[in-house]
Structure 1
């Protein structure tokens, strides 16, 4: 990925100002929302990432978002109640209800 991860470019100032103009930021947010829609609703089985953060969002040459690092992901059948699991992810990006109940749902990815 030519632009690396989102955390590397989000706050970097260049000679020409911030490289993440609002059009790029919108494109990244829209792309990530599309990825989450695919993982949560369109896959044969639902995929919960559990570790969405700026360092796991990679940017291609056109600042299109690509989600990476699926080591903590969980796969479950659509419409099934999530099984309680050990809390995993990066502190500060974890939804409060996930910390409290330990149930991985699509809501924890959206929170992140």
Structure 2
């Protein structure tokens, strides 16, 4: 795919995450942002899918509690695996998104 289409896909995913984190009445943390969970339509418009690991929380909550790690190796944020790095928040999805964009730009997988 060319750079304009990759940019459109990356921007669409970012807008989807922004909606999940800020646009809904209840904040939705996905916890498994990766290429396999992004669906593309015929116009390469991305749709975030697979909410099996997602967690809902109030918008006022900046940190959420978790019993165990969630996500896919290669995309999972460090604070999810190692608790002493800080609390788990919507920023964990942003980390996963960044890893995915890095793959898009580099043209290879990180796993």
Q: Does 1:107 align with 2:99?
A: no
2:69 alignment counterpart = 87
1:61 alignment counterpart = 42
Number of residue-to-residue matches in the alignment: 93
* Cα deviations by residue, 1:70-93 (Å, 9 ceiling, x for unpaired): 000000001213123311111111
Higher helix share: 2
Instruction: Could you tell me which runs of 5 or more consecutive residues in structure 1 were left unpaired when the two chains were aligned.
Output: 1-19
Give runs of aligned pairs for residues 7-86 of structure 1, distance below 5 A.
20-80=1-61, 81-86=63-68
Question: Which SS does the other structure have where 1:72 is aligned?
Answer: coil
**Bigger radius of gyration, 1 or 2?**
1
1:13 alignment counterpart = none
Alpha-carbon RMSD? 1.4
Query: How far apart in 2 are the matches of 1:103 and 1:28?
Result: 29
Instruction: Could you tell me which runs of 5 or more consecutive residues in structure 2 were left unpaired when the two chains were aligned.
Output: 97-111
Is 95-104 or 31-40 further displaced after alignment? 95-104
